[in-house]
A = this chain, B = another copy of it.
Amino acid sequence: MAALKNNTFIRALLRQPVPYTPVWIMRQAGRYLPEYNATRKRAGSFLGLAKNPDFATEVTLQPLARFPLDAAILFSDILTVPDAMGLGLYFAEGEGPKFERPLRDETAIHALRVPEPRESLGYVLDAVKQIRGALGGSVPLIGFSGSPYTLACYMIEGGGSDDFRNIKSMLYARPDLLHHMLDINARAVIAYLNAQIEAGAQAVMVFDTWGGALSDAAYHQFSLEYLRRVISGLHREWNGEPVPSIVFTKGGGLWLEDIAAIGCNAVGLDWTVNIGAARRRIGNQAALQGNLDPAVLFSDPATIRAEAGKVLRDFGHGNGHVFNLGHGISQFTPPDHVGVLVDAVHDLSCAYH
């Protein structure tokens, strides 16, 4: 495979010197781009896109054709693992992801098995290989998965939830059952992310979308512990190249030190955290990724530039910052505003390196 022409993203995750702060955008291949919507229409559905390596490659590259982003991220979904376990992932029009067969009883939970990625998630590995080839070493490719706890939320609730009534009932009344499921999820995520790395992913990110809805004690026992196991089980390098990891617990601002301590290379920050305060708390333990409020992109170019400048200034001089939003980009974002942001980050960050 081609050597990386732009390795600023990898170097920043490893807290090595870079000439400017690298930037990518969560959900950068997404509905705010007209060309994405056109491809999705041809594919028929979100899963039609994600399960077809040609389409997945096409949409992964679309934002890179528009903007000088410093990383590509595999076009896929955080819930492919439970889909491979047989739960039946689907997307109802205008709603979030759902499962046809949510897990509510002990028998179904004890029947869960760790899927073999090459057998049941081959479409993802094919997409990784194809995207990696298409990138030709221009920028690194990020692989990803949902966290063990976040997968369990969807597996038990059957979709998104306001109150996580079903999983939290299990957590408090039958913690043994939930731990059993989380152990399987952790082993499945490790096998899946390692298969992505073997297929060509050059960094991996674990999205803990719902860990932030747990109590402090429950977060440590039911989410962070399994994130720790995942990070411990990942390839740290492949083909002689380091493969850095990023852990992002949305709403996890209270636990940043604890997340950094599980051994990931970088901690993702949502927009509620001051990145300078986060850096002082974490010290040299991990790099930071984030964390502009996605709503800033609804404003005007001058404001976008000023707000990006504030995040860079709050982080300050030195290594270990990957710029990103604090959450996925909104579908209502004017695409040009992403260009303004990427240029602002590249331009303004030179002063800090």
Binding site for B on A (CB under 8 A): 163-165, 168-169, 171-173, 212-219, 251, 253-254, 271-274, 277, 293-296, 298-300, 303, 307, 310, 326, 330, 332
Contact A298 to B173, CB < 8 A, known contacts A253-B253, A272-B219: yes
Which residues of the partner chain B approach A219 to less than 8 Å between Cβ atoms? 272
User: How near does chain B come to A253, taking the closest CB pair, in angstroms?
Assistant: 5
Q: B303 near A212 (CB under 8 angstroms)?
A: no
User: How near does chain B come to A221, taking the closest CB pair, in angstroms?
Assistant: 12
Contact A272 to B303, CB < 8 A, known contacts A165-B298, A253-B254, A298-B172: no
Q: A251 near B254 (CB under 8 angstroms)?
A: no
**Complex CA–CA separation, A163 to B251 (angstroms):** 14
Q: List 19 A-B contacts (CB under 8 A).
A: A163-B295, A165-B295, A165-B332, A168-B293, A169-B295, A169-B298, A172-B293, A172-B299, A172-B307, A173-B299, A173-B303, A215-B271, A215-B272, A215-B326, A216-B274, A218-B293, A219-B272, A251-B272, A254-B272
| Chain A at the B interface: SS class | helix
Which residues of the partner chain B approach A165 to less than 8 Å between Cβ atoms? 295, 298, 330, 332
Q: How many copies of this chain sit in the oligomeric assembly?
A: 2
Nearest residue in B to A300 (C-beta to C-beta)?
A: B173
Which residues of the partner chain B approach A217 to less than 8 Å between Cβ atoms? 274, 310
**Complex CA–CA separation, A299 to B251 (angstroms):** 25
**Complex CA–CA separation, A168 to B212 (angstroms):** 22
Which residues of the partner chain B approach A298 to less than 8 Å between Cβ atoms? 165, 168-169, 172-173
Contact A214 to B296, CB < 8 A, known contacts A172-B307, A251-B251, A303-B173: no
Q: A272 near B214 (CB under 8 angstroms)?
A: yes
Nearest residue in B to A253 (C-beta to C-beta)?
A: B254
Which residues of the partner chain B approach A303 to less than 8 Å between Cβ atoms? 172-173
Q: Which of A171, A173, A293 has the most CB of B within 10 A?
A: A293
